[in-house]
Amino acid sequence: MQIKPILFYNTLSKETETFKSLKEGEVRLYSCGPTVYDRGHIGNMRSYILSDIIRRTFEYNGYEVHQVINITDVGHLTGDNEGDADTGEDRMEKASVSLGESAQDIAKKYTTLFFTDIRRLNIDTEKIEFPRATEYINEQIAMVQTLQDIGYAYKVSDGVYYDTSMFKNYGKLGGINVDELEAGARVKVRKEKRNATDFALWKFSSPDQHRQQEWESPWGVGFPGWHIECSAMSRALLGRQIDIHTGGIDHIPVHHNNEIAQSEVVNKKKFVNYWLHNAFINVEGRRMGKSIGNLINLDQVIDRGFSPLSYRYWLLTAHYRTPANFTWDALEGSHAALKKLHRYFVDELNVTLGTVDSKYKEQFHAFINSDLDTPKAIALVWELMKDDSVSKKDKRATLLDFDTVLGLGLNESDESMVKLLHGGGQKLSVSDIPTNVKAIMDEREQAREQKDFRKADALREQLHVHGYEIEDTAVGPRLSKRKE
Ligand code: AMP
Ligand code: ZN
């Protein structure tokens, strides 16, 4: 097969570049994974679908892929994402207090749910390595030690910090204006920090607060900062230099610039050749957030009668760099489309396998190699379905070939994923929930958010009168028809 160029938009150069791997025929791919203090939502899933499409595209092009997604089970502070790495509580410890379970149990529970979610989206977890931050403490300490030895890290009263003024071009990813970052952070600058953008590499346990997760280190008992885990784990599993690093755009200014600053100094190499970032998913026109109360996870998708694959399909109809607005109506449309595709495949293309149509394959290949243009690839699927000049058996072969990249379950042996598409085993579809019942349900959720449990109970009674049961599960409310 003739090698075709693969083009990616690289956040580092802000240009579309032709991909060239570090090692011929192999790709090293690292993606920032979940912090397992809570259930992942459908926005997070876009990040994992991005790395999945990257892996499948490379496999389609004949590459071997070494893929890592880290699991953050310590050290991610509530202030970290705002570039305020020395403030806030550890998310794991905070969740432990509010849920009354150990940090370890919480990590276990949400890691399992994370695997469940991504498998439902047809991501093959067997092909990916999932290192936990708590399993790489020694590697993280060693990296911090090196940074200190060469003068890039300094110790203050609450931890060890990276001196960002030492790193030439700090903030180069995404063209971050460090002066602006500094100005924005000034009010919160700790007196002991040399620069506002300096960030914690190692934090000391506070003497007046018991921590469940802490380790001995050359500087004192404590825990690693959030950014160092990605530098240490990608180095341990993929080497000192990698081809591709992915994540959501929110990670560009702070987390990924900090990873670069750490890794390039310790590894003495350019850390990553291609940085790919996905734009955000909003819900009904609003940013998704716990405080807004509009987080949606895959259980809710299933409870409303949709297959997770319909969500995958919906995601692929938008380019990963385009912000997308999720609505239940849009998902309903994707669900109907995917169901139609499956029906067509099962009913109309129930023939022996022919050969892949070279003209269509050529186009498909060009689309996915062009910065993962899945919307065009999906449009091509529909064009092929309607094209009577291609025989049914060749259509079957061609669609199956496309699906090795799209992952829409056409050849799926896991029936549970596809079952929902065919209408089997489902409780309530969104169109089955009367508007007034849905309104009560939403009002009750709001009451629960505001901890007005008396009102929430009264609304539960109302639902009962309408003939519905509501069950509050760890992953949100679940509505079903009341059994008489
Ligand atoms: P977190 O657990 O918050 O670190 O997020 C895990 C991944 O999901 C990261 O790559 C984030 O950038 C990404 N992410 C978070 N929220 C969204 C969203 N609403 N849409 C798309 N990606 C998101
Ligand atoms: Zn990371």
Q: What is the mean pLDDT of the chain?
A: 88
pLDDT tens-digit series, residues 368-393: 999 999 999 999 999 999 999 999 99
Ligand nearest to the CA of 228: 2
Which domains, ranges and CATH numbers included, belong to the chain?
7-278 (3.40.50.620), 282-421 (1.10.730.10), 425-481 (no CATH)
Give 44 Cα–ligand 1 centroid separation in angstroms.
4
- Contacts of 164-171 with CB under 8 Å at 24 or more apart are 164/195, 164/197, 164/198, 164/199, 164/261, 165/194, 165/195, 166/265, 167/261, 167/264, 167/265, 170/197, 170/257, 170/261, 171/197, 171/253, 171/257
pLDDT tens-digit series, residues 25-78: 999 999 999 999 889 999 999 999 999 999 999 999 999 999 999 999 986 777
Give 80 Cα–ligand 2 centroid separation in angstroms.
12
Q: Which of 250, 275, 288, 292 to mutate to test the pocket of ligand 1 (most atoms within 8 A of CB)?
A: 250
**Ligand 1 contacts CB of residue 215 (under 6 A):** no
Whose alpha carbon is nearest atom 1 of ligand 1? 34
Work out which ligand 1 atom sits closest to the CA atom of 35.
2
Q: Which of 29, 41, 47 to mutate to test the pocket of ligand 1 (most atoms within 8 A of CB)?
A: 47
Q: Which residue has the higher pLDDT, 405 or 99?
A: 405
pLDDT tens-digit series, residues 256-308: 999 999 999 999 999 999 999 999 999 999 998 877 888 999 999 988 889 99
Pairwise CA distance, residues 100 & 97, whole Å: 5
User: Is residue 463 a contact partner of residue 428, using CB atoms and an 8 Å limit?
Assistant: no
